[in-house]
Amino acid sequence: MIRFVNVGKTYLNGTKALKDVTFDIEDGEFVFIVGPSGAGKSTIIKLITAQEKPESGSVYVDKFNVGKIPDRKVPYLRRSVGVVFQDFRLIQNKTVYENVAFVMRAVGEPPRFIKKRVRYVLELVGIKHKADNMPSQLSGGEQQRVAIARALVNNPGTIVADEPTGNLDPARSLEIMALLNEINKRGTTVIVVTHEVGIVNRFRKRVLAIENGVIVQDGEGGYYESEEGRK
């Protein structure tokens, strides 16, 4: 479960990214976080993954209080949240299999378990047949599938996808969203940060809309950009 309570965040350069933001995301939910560039979407992800700490208020991720978490415990918080990036961030000199396997090694999983689990996850995202390929040999959609497999492989309770379709054409975008939806149906909480209104409206999930650091909409259904958002 993720809980933001009256969260405020101002960066060193004076930018007020979040102002008194409060919301809960229950286990197993699918939530879109939407809003224009600079609205504060990325800050929410940074707070969930403890890359930043709140200036005021509290952020809870499962049993961790992000504002008070000691540095040595941060890795354990991050194991409960898988992250998918817009630019995939695959390691170019590792194969697809290695890209996914190495994050299991990074958390100390035993080798025989890694082999089984990686194959299973690659099959789940539909990329098992390309396990021995290098990332440069894959299309954008395929690379994003690998990135999703990597986020999933350690079995986190939550997956956070930051603009996962930003670099993909509409058809591939829909496939990736369908995949995330499928993952959500299996019990994983999915948070998708996007500014693509079309996708948001098509999937009819809970939408958290943020503009200028303030939550302007929180509810099931579509997203109707305000005048401010369209600017």
Partner 1 sequence: MKKRRASPFTEFKYFLSEGVLSVLTHGLMSFAAITVIAACLLITATFMLVSYNIDVQIGKLQNRDQIVVYIDEELSRDDGLALESKILAVDNVQSAEFVTKEEFFDAFVAQLGDDADVVESMRDDNPLRDSFRVYMKDIDKHAETLKALEAIDGIADSNSDVELSERLVQLRSVVRTVCYSLIILLGAVSLFIISNTVKLALFARREEIQIMKMVGATNAFIRAPFVVEGLILGVTASVFVFSAQWIIYNYVTKRIAAGSNVLETVPFEAFRYPLALWLLVAGVALGLLGSVFTIRRYMKV
Residue ranges that bind partner 1, judged by CB under 8 A? 49, 71-72, 74-80, 82-83, 89, 91, 102-103, 105-111, 113, 150, 154
How many CA atoms does the CB half-sphere of 66 hold within 13 Å?
A: 29
Structure tokens at 78: 């991050």
Considering the complex, what minimum distance in angstroms separates the CB of residue 230 from partner 1? 32
Task: Quote the CA–CA distance of 154 and 173 in Å, as a whole number.
Answer: 24
Considering the complex, what minimum distance in angstroms separates the CB of residue 229 from partner 1? 29
Nearer to partner 1, 60 or 203 (CB): 60
Considering the complex, what minimum distance in angstroms separates the CB of residue 192 from partner 1? 17
Considering the complex, what minimum distance in angstroms separates the CB of residue 15 from partner 1? 21
Nearer to partner 1, 77 or 199 (CB): 77
Kindly report the length of the chain.
231
Inter-CA distances, 47 with 41, 42, 66, 199, Å: 10, 9, 7, 25
Q: Which among 83, 161, 148, 159 is positioned nearest to 122, based on CA atoms?
A: 148
List the Cα angle 162/163/167 in 5-degree steps.
135
Considering the complex, what minimum distance in angstroms separates the CB of residue 99 from partner 1? 9
Nearer to partner 1, 44 or 200 (CB): 44
Q: Which among 130, 44, 140, 46 is positioned nearest to 89, based on CA atoms?
A: 140
